[in-house]
Amino acid sequence: MNLFEIIDEIEKVDPEIHERLNPRRAAIKNITSFGSKVAVAAMPFALGTLFKKAYGQTATPSVFDVLNYALTLEYLEAEYYNVGTSRGVIPAANSAYMANIARDENNHVNFLRTVINSSGGTAISKPAIDLSGGNGSGTGPYAGAFTNYDLFLTVAQAFEDTGVRAYKGQAGFLAGNKTVLTAALSIHAVEARHASAIRQLRFNRGATTTKPWIVSTASLGNDTGVAGVDGNYAGEENTVQGGVDLKSLGSIGVVTASFDEPLTKDQVLALLSGTFLVKR
């Protein structure tokens, strides 16, 4: 027995199980205009929590909350590459390569702003950003990123991997919503392409243990070697998927690299607020 089958079987005795798991799913299914605030319940993928939430309601974010959160992250990423480009840290040999990423991040900002504003929501303005991670001081731990290209790429990698994890953590809140979920998954995939591309670049520049995918150990999700970003990779060492412990099917490196793990909004904001996002 495993979780896939459990849900399937419970449906036989409780036909409304899916509605319990996603109470307002039906109301938003295939929505093409999300002019009203729509709340969708979702749950972490732990069986106990899953059923606790399924049978007892909890507050969930609206679609606009999710989109504005995504927009916050995109503002940050776009700013990072825009400043990196204008400050000249990217060598000429990599300028076209990195310009692809900057282009996509700026497109994400514009896309999300347009979607939110044209659907009756209000896109948030660009937040106060400190790319040194110093909460407005400009002297944070990554202040050297715009004069040290390898540091620039390391921070970029952490941003991209975190972006992938952040989008993934919101997917459940958009379940059943064809337009918004598909768009979010499509941005999520592009962030993963970027993460892979930056990791390849770092490998080619001498970071010889860096793979295009996140290879965790049994006890540490973070594979960057930079302890300051441990939190960005927390949980990547997970080996249990859908109730199946995959350790019996492959090495830790393979098992952890084969699945990218999500981060909750709270986890992401705890990492960024007071560092890259200025908190006064």
Partner 1 sequence: MKPEINQSLGEANMARRSFLRYAGASAATVAVMGVAASCKKDRGVTVDGTIDIGSGDIGILNYAYALEQLEAAFYLQVIATPYSGISSIETSYLTDIRDHEVLHRDFFKAALGTSAIIGLTTDFSSINFSDRTSVLSAAKLLEDTGVTAYDGAGYLIKDAGYLTIAGKIVSVEARHAALISNLLVAGSFAASDQVDANGLNKAASIKDVLAGANGFLKTKVSASKF
Least distance from C-beta 269 to partner 1, angstroms? Answer: 19
Shorter beta-carbon distance to partner 1: residue 212 or 228: 212
Least distance from C-beta 27 to partner 1, angstroms? Answer: 13
Q: Quote the CA–CA distance of 247 and 245 in Å, as a whole number.
A: 6
Q: Quote the CA–CA distance of 270 and 264 in Å, as a whole number.
A: 10
Shorter beta-carbon distance to partner 1: residue 49 or 147: 49
Shorter beta-carbon distance to partner 1: residue 85 or 273: 85
Least distance from C-beta 280 to partner 1, angstroms? Answer: 31
Provide the 3-class DSSP secondary structure of residue 9: helix
Least distance from C-beta 271 to partner 1, angstroms? Answer: 18
Length of the chain: 280
Q: Quote the CA–CA distance of 237 and 214 in Å, as a whole number.
A: 9
Least distance from C-beta 150 to partner 1, angstroms? Answer: 19
Least distance from C-beta 274 to partner 1, angstroms? Answer: 27
Shorter beta-carbon distance to partner 1: residue 75 or 167: 167
Least distance from C-beta 9 to partner 1, angstroms? Answer: 5
Shorter beta-carbon distance to partner 1: residue 136 or 235: 235
The DSSP secondary-structure symbol of 240 reads: E
Shorter beta-carbon distance to partner 1: residue 49 or 139: 49
Q: Quote the CA–CA distance of 237 and 41 in Å, as a whole number.
A: 27
Shorter beta-carbon distance to partner 1: residue 89 or 197: 197
From its phi and psi, is residue 235 left (phi > 0), alpha (psi between -120 and 50) or beta? Answer: left
Shorter beta-carbon distance to partner 1: residue 134 or 211: 211
Least distance from C-beta 132 to partner 1, angstroms? Answer: 26
Count other C-beta atoms under 10 Å from residue 246's C-beta: 17
Question: Per the structure block, which two tokens stand in for 216?
Answer: 């965790």
* HSE-up of residue 96 (Cα within 13 Å, Cβ side): 1
Q: Quote the CA–CA distance of 176 and 182 in Å, as a whole number.
A: 9
Contacts with 77 (C-beta within 8 Å, 6 or more apart), sequence order: 105, 108, 159, 160, 163
CB 89 within 8 A of CB 144: no
CB 18 within 8 A of CB 25: yes
Question: Per the structure block, which two tokens stand in for 231?
Answer: 């939190």
